[in-house]
Amino acid sequence: MVRKLKKYFILVLALSAFQQVFAQHDSPVVAKTSPGKTEESVSTVLNINNKEGIFNSVASFTFDVKNTYNSQQEGTVSYFITDEKGVKVKTLSKPVKIGQKSAERYSFEIPALKTGFYKLNMMINVSDYDDTTRRAFGIRADEIKSAYPKPADFDAFWKSAKADLAKVKPQFKVTEDVSQNTDNRRVFLIEMKSLDNLTIRGWMTIPKNSNKNKQFSVLLGLPGYQVSLQPIVGRDDDLAIITLNTRGQGNSRDVIHTERDAFISYNIEDKDKYVMRGVIMDCVRAVDFIYSRKELRHDQVLATGGSMGGYLAIALAALDKRVTICSAQNPILSDVHNLTGSVEWPIKDIRKYVAGKPGVTFEQVMHNMEYYDTKNFATNVTCPILLGLGLLDPYVPPANGFAVYNSLNTDKKVMVFKDLGHEVSQKYKDYEGAWMRDTFGLF
């Protein structure tokens, strides 16, 4: 599973050299085409008939089939709808005939579905073409609530963690890396001591400015799972950009340096020693760092990230009120109990870890994870927050994402991308930037 992820990372990393990778369309979906002859094909487009793929009552979708063969295509068009755990909800199969060089549209409406998200598999099996297209849709997503309560001592647990962090002298260190400076930005390696006295590193880039008293708004970028963050440079002359490599990642792997798959489970059997406790405190320490710098604005801090970075952004905003605004894309570990049966990762890796630890049970670990559940952090967020979700996300099922969103009791906005998986589109990034600039008055 994680190997598959790795391939995905490599692919996206490679593609990210080109701007287009982040300008993915959220609608309409690019047609799927049968392989083989270029001049003759069957192509299909499955469209959920709502911009965000969420309905109040009746779900509807259309399936467009285009036949460029010189022969009629005969067979069936079928759908198979399941809930997020794969339990069958509804199926339908209808015979179809698509004339030579013609197109057909098949429209479907599904009434009386319960609140939640559903997976839709649309199959076509005709003379010269077989294919399945997968989409998802939701019903009354704003009513989705987690079925699992927040631990009564959740706040006390994190208060204790912050108290432990406070005992560690930060010993901030800032070293200019002249070799990475650009014509308009200076690049600094930043180091600090965090929980358990681990050294945490990251990068800070600051626009060159003749005003020595200039204070910059701060973008604090938090890392995805096992991603090594590098300095971010560019043409922006308003933002200081800090990219943090939390423990066990990037250039902060002195003590914790697990195999990639093992990181998520590191010490998970003990909630007081679980790696994420330190990781989250590393983020708090990064805010301490921001507050220690006079060239940084302490009242304008955006915490942002995707995947694990989105998770950390929400956790940080919940635990540290010094964060001004928060942007979280596809946050992992959302409604953790409800991940079981819905996703392979991280459940599979956690089970594998538990299997190798005599005396540790999966249930015990999942209980520990309640203290690390995104939706439990969400209830404590008070700053404005932007959340991005993909309905086809294999690690953050949309119902889990909405359990987080609906737990937020603050100024909030969710952007849903019905045709995307574990990612958001350029539209999100544009909105995020404009929102941040407006909030910080960077007109």
Partner 1 sequence: MDYFKDTPMDKNMTQNKKLFKYLLAVVILMAFAPRNSYADGFPVRPGRFILSPSVSYFFANKQYDSTSHRRAFDNNGRFHSVNYAFYSEYGISRKFTLSALVPYSMNYFNTDSITHAITTSGLQDIEIGLKYYLANINYKYYFSIKATGIIPTYRNNASLGYGYYGSELKLAFAGSGHLFGKQSYFVAENAVREYFGSESVFQDRYNLTYGLTLDKKFKEQLSISIGGFYATSGNSMINPNPIISANPNTSKNFAFNQVSASYGHAFTKNLSLFLTGGTFITGRNTGAGSSVSASLNYRLDTR
Residues forming the site for partner 1 (CB under 8 A): 5, 8-9, 12-13, 16-17, 19, 22, 211, 214-215, 219, 221-225, 227, 229-236, 238-239, 241, 243, 304-310, 329-330, 332, 395, 422-423, 426, 429-438, 441-443
Which strand ranges, in their side-by-side order, compose the sheet holding 129-139? 54-55, 129-139, 116-126, 73-83, 88-98
Smallest gap from residue 48 Cβ to partner 1 (A): 22
Structural tokens at position 366: 């999942």
Smallest gap from residue 349 Cβ to partner 1 (A): 13
Smallest gap from residue 424 Cβ to partner 1 (A): 9
C-alpha 110/C-alpha 113 separation (Å) is: 7
Cβ-based nearer residue to partner 1, 144 or 415: 415
Cβ-based nearer residue to partner 1, 8 or 148: 8
Smallest gap from residue 441 Cβ to partner 1 (A): 4
Cβ-based nearer residue to partner 1, 120 or 414: 414
C-alpha 155/C-alpha 152 separation (Å) is: 8
The DSSP string of 320-367 is: -TT--EEEEES-SSSSGGGGTTT-STTHHHHHHHHHTSTT--HHHHHH
Smallest gap from residue 329 Cβ to partner 1 (A): 7
Give the DSSP letter of residue 310: H
C-alpha 20, offset from chain centre:
19
Beta bridge partners of 79: 92, 122
Smallest gap from residue 68 Cβ to partner 1 (A): 31
Cβ-based nearer residue to partner 1, 231 or 398: 231
Three-state DSSP state, 48: strand
C-alpha 330/C-alpha 180 separation (Å) is: 31
Backbone angles phi, psi at 313, to 5 degrees: -60, -45
C-alpha 26/C-alpha 28 separation (Å) is: 6
Cβ-based nearer residue to partner 1, 16 or 160: 16
Beta bridge partners of 399: none
- Count of CA atoms in the C-beta half-sphere (13 A) of 418: 24
Residue that is written with structure tokens 């982040």 in the block: 22
Smallest gap from residue 12 Cβ to partner 1 (A): 4
Smallest gap from residue 390 Cβ to partner 1 (A): 12
Three-state DSSP state, 374: helix
Smallest gap from residue 319 Cβ to partner 1 (A): 19
Beta bridge partners of 43: 33, 66
Cβ-based nearer residue to partner 1, 151 or 433: 433
Smallest gap from residue 333 Cβ to partner 1 (A): 12
Contact by Cβ (8 Å): 374, 404: yes
Cβ-based nearer residue to partner 1, 138 or 306: 306
Whole-angstrom CA distances from 405 to 87, 228, 321, 367, 412 are: 24, 28, 19, 22, 8
Cβ-based nearer residue to partner 1, 278 or 310: 310
Contact by Cβ (8 Å): 88, 80: yes
Cβ-based nearer residue to partner 1, 237 or 254: 237
Cβ-based nearer residue to partner 1, 189 or 232: 232
Smallest gap from residue 47 Cβ to partner 1 (A): 24
Structural tokens at position 426: 């350029």
Cβ-based nearer residue to partner 1, 73 or 300: 300
C-alpha 178/C-alpha 333 separation (Å) is: 38
Cβ-based nearer residue to partner 1, 153 or 411: 411
Smallest gap from residue 61 Cβ to partner 1 (A): 27
C-alpha 166/C-alpha 194 separation (Å) is: 9
Contact by Cβ (8 Å): 395, 347: no
347: left (phi over 0), alpha (psi -120 to 50) or beta: alpha
